[in-house]
Structures are given as structure tokens and as C-alpha cells.
């Protein structure tokens, strides 16, 4: 796919809901609630962490909810995912979820509400989050081997994640998906065990190709474990049958595992990009809109909010940001530009 470099929005891009120059419509908003985290996953953050945003630069709960309301009521957003950093570090998470659950979409429905988390502390919050209106949760777990887990995340917290998964299931959050980024020589050989564990608990495993969006030096194309390799690892003990995508916009390709009711997914952002059908817009914890995970530019909604802008001005700024959305991440292009933030500051 070639990258469109023109910055001029076409007319259709500035009318109606969030539509970009290529006709893609954003229905899915990912809100990062903090840039801080309890882990230091090697593919996402440097061991020493990052310079965290000062509190005053982070959107308040009320600011987050106002932007979510504008997105849902004015801009056609139908699903919201809370992410981070680690969103469970956000004290007001339950209140933010409850406020978003009161919104109504253009179809007069409650927006779908989901959380992506590393699972630390979920044990104590899953029930309250469910009661607040959270529908589902994706939990990151790269391996069941405690030593490998500690090597990847630089923290010895495997037991806490497993407790968080159990609590999510008990609370009735459904489906519970497990996200595993696969790293050569670290957890690739652990995938069959992880799949068996997920099948036993009724969890949907998605194995993720590592993207070049972590700390400098953490990614190389030659070291990438690609979707083809992931599939052969997952097929070591199990037979997989390919499924058609039920949601054309979902990042994962899915398979059923023969002899079970379960499915397993592969998110192949690098070797099989899904940018053509992208339906996402992203809000960072400091109030910047990123139309693409790999954007090199952002649109500052926080300044608008804090300068007293009316909803209409925010709507226009958000639409303009969407109009500038690139065609694709362009990883294969000669002029690929490294995104302006690393993963934990964007929200995945
Ligand atoms: N390239 C790319 N990767 C994405 C995008 N959205 C999510 N991902 C990656 O997909 C992986 C799983 O992300 P999640 O936060 O669980 O979100 P999701 O897979 O969209 O969630 P579902 O709605 O449950 O399918 C992470 O590595 C994300 O960074 C996207 O728009 N582009
Ligand atoms: C940035 S994290 C934020 C939410 C939460 N802290 C967590 O880990 O689930 C969101 C997702 O991005 C994934 N991720 C982080 N760095 C990645 C990378 N370099 N390539 C692919 N996925 C990555 C994580 O595995 C996680 O599933
Ligand atoms: S992937 Fe999630 S848990 Fe791991 S360092 Fe990044 S933000 Fe934290
Ligand atoms: S890389 Fe950008 S355009 Fe491609 S799917 Fe992700 S957010 Fe969408």
C-alpha cells in the first residue's frame, strides 16, 4: 500500500462523523488514562521507566468524560476502550466507566466499554468495574513461566495477573481475551502451554507480532516472530481452523481450535497490516488526538478544553485530526518515521 502524503482534507472528510480522506469511519475510541505503569515490558518501556507526565498535564476525570461524550454523542463513536500505561492505576476508573455507560450512541445504544490491562490489581476491582458498566477486558499475559514473565516484564508478578484473570471471569466480564506479544527466544516456545491454559479457562488468546513502537533498540525485522511462525507454534499440539472475520475492523485474524468451542487470534500488524479497515481514533492521557498508532503528529484537545472551547470547536478539531489520518503505518516505506511517542504513552 502506498502512503498518501497530501495534507489537504477532501470535502467529505470535514463533514459528518469521523471520516478520513480514504473513506474510513472511526467508530472505536481508545482512551489512554495514564502514561504510568506497574510493569516495564521490554517491548514497550525502558527498564528505568519514563519521565511521567505531571498530574496537571493529565486530563482530569471530568475532561475525559467530556471528550468521551463529544465522541459518542457528536462524532459517531460506538465503542470505547480504556488503556494506558496501566489504566488500573487511574483512581477514578470506575467513575469514568460509569459516566461513559450513561452515554448514548447515534444508534441510541450504550457504547461498548472495554479495558486493556496488565491485570495487576484487577483481582480487587473487576467486580466494581463490571458493576460500573464495563463489558469486557483484554489482559496482557505473555507466558505462564514465572521466570520468563519476570524477564519480559521486569517484575515478578505472574501470580497477580492470574488472580486478576480469575476475578475478571468471576465478575462476568465477557469475553476475557489474553494478549501475548511474542518474542524470539523468550516466550515463543511457551505459546502451546499458554494456549492450553486459555482453552481450559475459556479465555480467547491473541498472539501479537511485536511492533517497532517500544524503546529504541527493542525491535528488529530479522528478529520478528511473524504470524506464519506464530501459527505453526500454536499448531504444535492443536489443530486450528481459520475463521472469517466477524468484525472486518478487528485487528486479529481468528481460528477455532478443533475439539473446543474456543478461538485463538493472531494480531499481525507488521506482516499482515489491517490499516485498510481501520476504524480507530486515539486520545492520549494528556489530551492529544492521534489518528493512528504510528502518527507523527497530534491534535491538542487539552488546550481547547482548558481555554473554554465550546463542543463545536472540539468536534471540528477532532474531525480535522481524522482527516489527516495516514493511509497506513508505512512500516515498509523507505521514509517510515518512528512515531512521536512510544507505546505506553499512546495506549496500544
Ligand atoms: N497496528 C495496530 N495495532 C493495534 C491497533 N489497535 C490495537 N492494536 C494492537 O493490538 C493489540 C491488542 O490490543 P487491544 O488493546 O487488546 O485491542 P483490540 O485487539 O483492538 O481489542 P478487541 O476489540 O478486543 O479486538 C495491541 O498490541 C495493540 O497495540 C491498531 O489500530 N493498529
Ligand atoms: C500499551 S499496553 C497498555 C495497557 C496495559 N498496560 C497492558 O499491557 O495491557 C496495550 C497493549 O499493547 C501491547 N504492546 C505493547 N508494546 C507493544 C509492541 N511493541 N508491539 C505490540 N504490542 C505491544 C501490550 O502487550 C498490550 O496488550
Ligand atoms: S505493555 Fe502495558 S504493562 Fe507492559 S509496560 Fe507497556 S503499558 Fe505497561
Ligand atoms: S497502524 Fe494506524 S492506520 Fe493501521 S490499523 Fe493501526 S491505527 Fe489504523
Confidence band, pLDDT 50/70/90 cuts, at residue 339: confident
Buried b (16+ CB within 10 A) or exposed e, 247-271: eebbbbbbbebeeeebbbbbbbbbb
In angstroms, the CA 249 to CA 39 distance is: 29
Average pLDDT over residues 321-339: 85
- The ligand placed nearest to the CA atom of residue 290 is 4
What pLDDT was estimated at residue 333?
A: 77
For residue 26 the three cell numbers come to 472511526
27 half-sphere exposure, CB direction, 13 A CA radius: 16
Closest residue to atom 14 of ligand 2, CA basis: 348
Residue 76: is it exposed, middle or buried by C-beta count within 10 angstroms (0-12/13-18/19+)?
Answer: middle
Question: Which residues lie below 8 Å from residue 294, measured CB to CB, with a gap of 6+?
Answer: 213, 326, 329, 330, 331, 339
Q: Compute the CA torsion angle 339, 341, 347, 348 (nearest 10 deg).
A: 30
In angstroms, the CA 215 to CA 342 distance is: 7
pTM of the model: 0.95
Question: Which residues lie below 8 Å from residue 164, measured CB to CB, with a gap of 6+?
Answer: 117, 119, 120, 121, 122, 123, 126, 139
Average pLDDT over residues 276-291: 97
Average pLDDT over residues 119-126: 98
Provide Rg for the chain, Cα atoms: 19
Q: Is 291 in the pocket of ligand 1 (CB under 6 A)?
A: no
Residue 274: is it exposed, middle or buried by C-beta count within 10 angstroms (0-12/13-18/19+)?
Answer: middle
Q: Is 44 in the pocket of ligand 3 (CB under 6 A)?
A: yes
Among the listed residues 97, 94, 84, 73, the one whose alpha carbon sits nearest the alpha carbon of residue 41: 84
What pLDDT was estimated at residue 9?
A: 43
Give 167 Cα–ligand 4 centroid separation in angstroms: 32
Give 82 Cα–ligand 3 centroid separation in angstroms: 13
Q: Is 280 in the pocket of ligand 4 (CB under 6 A)?
A: yes
Task: Render pLDDT for 231-268 as a digit per residue (tens, 0 to 9).
Answer: 999 999 999 999 998 888 999 999 999 999 999 999 99
Task: Report the run of H or E that residue 70 belongs to, with start and end.
Answer: helix 61-74
- Among the residue ranges 28-32, 107-111, 191-195, 328-332, the one predicted with the least confidence is 328-332
What pLDDT was estimated at residue 7?
A: 42
Q: Is 181 in the pocket of ligand 2 (CB under 6 A)?
A: yes
- Report the nearest atom of ligand 2 relative to the CA of 214: 19
Confidence band, pLDDT 50/70/90 cuts, at residue 10: very low
Give 338 Cα–ligand 2 centroid separation in angstroms: 17
- Report the nearest atom of ligand 2 relative to the CA of 39: 6
In angstroms, the CA 154 to CA 192 distance is: 23
- The ligand placed nearest to the CA atom of residue 117 is 2
Among the listed residues 273, 271, 274, 252, the one whose alpha carbon sits nearest the alpha carbon of residue 263: 252
What pLDDT was estimated at residue 8?
A: 43
Task: Render pLDDT for 301-315 as a digit per residue (tens, 0 to 9).
Answer: 999 999 999 999 999
Average pLDDT over residues 158-164: 98
Residue 30 is assigned to a ligand binding site: yes
What pLDDT was estimated at residue 4?
A: 33
Question: Which residues lie below 8 Å from residue 267, measured CB to CB, with a gap of 6+?
Answer: 179, 206, 207, 208, 209, 251, 252
Mutate to test the pocket of ligand 4, among 271, 324, 329, 339 (most ligand atoms within 8 A of CB): 329
pLDDT at 11 over 50: no
What pLDDT was estimated at residue 161?
A: 98
Give 130 Cα–ligand 4 centroid separation in angstroms: 29
Strands ordered across the beta sheet of 299-300: 240-242, 252-257, 263-267, 204-208, 176-181, 136-140, 112-117, 79-83, 28-32, 280-283, 288-290, 299-300
Mean pLDDT of the chain: 93
CA angle 137, 300, 89 (to 5 degrees): 35
Closest residue to atom 1 of ligand 4, CA basis: 329
Closest residue to atom 4 of ligand 3, CA basis: 41
Confidence band, pLDDT 50/70/90 cuts, at residue 15: very low
Q: Is 270 in the pocket of ligand 4 (CB under 6 A)?
A: no
Confidence band, pLDDT 50/70/90 cuts, at residue 16: low
Q: Is 32 in the pocket of ligand 2 (CB under 6 A)?
A: no
Q: Is 120 in the pocket of ligand 1 (CB under 6 A)?
A: no
Closest residue to atom 29 of ligand 1, CA basis: 348
Average pLDDT over residues 12-16: 42
Task: Render pLDDT for 182-237 as a digit per residue (tens, 0 to 9).
Answer: 999 999 999 999 999 999 999 999 999 999 999 999 999 999 999 999 999 999 99
CA distances (Å), 142 to each of 125, 148, 168, 170, in order? 22, 9, 18, 22
Q: Is 85 in the pocket of ligand 3 (CB under 6 A)?
A: yes
pLDDT at 3 over 90: no
Percent of the chain with pLDDT over 90: 87
Instruction: Say if strands 79-83 and 136-140 run parallel, antiparallel, or are unpaired.
Output: unpaired
What pLDDT was estimated at residue 95?
A: 98
Classify the complex by whether its ipTM is higher than 0.95, answering yes or no: yes
In angstroms, the CA 25 to CA 18 distance is: 6
Among the listed residues 129, 112, 204, the one whose alpha carbon sits nearest the alpha carbon of residue 173: 129
Phi, psi of 106 (to 5 degrees): -65, -15
Closest residue to atom 4 of ligand 4, CA basis: 275
What pLDDT was estimated at residue 342?
A: 86
Average pLDDT over residues 328-338: 79
Mutate to test the pocket of ligand 4, among 247, 273, 298 (most ligand atoms within 8 A of CB): 273
- pLDDT, greater one: 336 or 207: 207
In angstroms, the CA 34 to CA 221 distance is: 29
Amino acid at each position: 500500500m502506498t502512503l498518501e502524503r497530501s495534507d489537504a482534507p477532501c470535502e467529505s472528510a470535514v463533514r459528518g462523523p469521523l471520516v478520513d480522506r480514504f473513506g474510513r469511519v472511526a467508530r472505536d475510541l481508545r482512551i489512554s488514562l495514564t502514561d504510568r505503569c506497574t510493569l516495564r515490558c521490554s517491548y514497550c518501556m525502558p527498564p528505568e521507566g519514563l519521565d511521567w507526565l505531571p498530574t496537571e498535564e493529565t486530563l482530569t476525570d471530568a475532561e475525559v468524560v467530556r471528550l468521551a461524550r463529544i465522541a459518542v454523542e457528536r462524532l459517531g463513536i460506538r465503542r470505547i476502550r480504556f488503556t494506558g500505561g496501566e489504566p488500573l492505576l487511574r483512581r477514578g476508573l470506575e467513575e469514568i466507566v460509569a459516566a461513559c455507560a450513561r452515554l448514548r450512541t447515534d444508534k441510541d445504544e450504550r457504547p461498548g466499554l472495554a479495558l486493556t490491562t496488565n491485570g495487576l490489581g484487577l483481582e480487587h476491582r473487576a467486580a466494581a468495574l463490571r458493576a460500573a458498566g464495563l463489558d469486557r477486558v483484554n489482559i496482557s499475559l505473555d507466558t505462564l513461566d514465572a521466570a520468563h514473565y519476570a524477564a519480559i516484564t521486569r517484575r515478578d508478578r505472574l501470580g497477580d495477573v492470574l488472580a486478576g484473570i480469575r476475578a475478571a471471569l468471576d465478575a462476568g466480564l465477557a469475553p476475557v481475551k489474553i494478549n501475548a506479544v511474542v518474542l524470539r527466544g523468550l516466550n515463543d516456545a511457551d505459546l502451546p502451554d499458554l494456549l492450553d491454559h486459555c482453552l481450559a479457562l475459556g479465555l480467547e488468546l491473541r498472539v501479537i507480532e511485536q511492533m517497532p513502537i517500544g524503546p529504541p533498540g527493542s525491535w528488529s525485522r530479522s528478529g520478528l516472530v511473524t504470524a506464519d511462525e506464530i501459527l505453526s507454534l500454536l499448531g504444535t499440539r492443536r489443530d486450528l481452523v481459520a475463521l472469517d472475520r466477524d468484525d472486518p475492523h478487528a485487528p486479529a485474524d481468528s481460528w477455532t481450535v478443533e475439539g473446543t468451542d474456543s478461538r485463538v487470534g493472531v494480531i499481525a500488524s507488521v506482516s499482515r497490516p489491517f490499516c485498510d479497515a481501520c476504524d480507530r481514533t486515539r486520545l492520549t492521557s494528556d489530551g492529544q488526538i492521534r489518528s493512528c498508532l504510528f502518527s507523527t503528529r497530534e491534535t491538542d484537545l487539552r488546550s481547547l478544553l482548558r481555554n473554554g472551547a465550546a463542543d463545536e470547536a472540539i468536534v471540528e478539531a477532532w474531525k480535522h485530526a481524522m482527516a489527516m489520518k495516514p493511509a497506513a503505518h508505512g512500516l515498509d516505506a523507505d521514509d517510515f518515521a518512528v512515531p512521536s511517542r512510544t507505546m505506553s504513552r499512546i495506549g496500544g
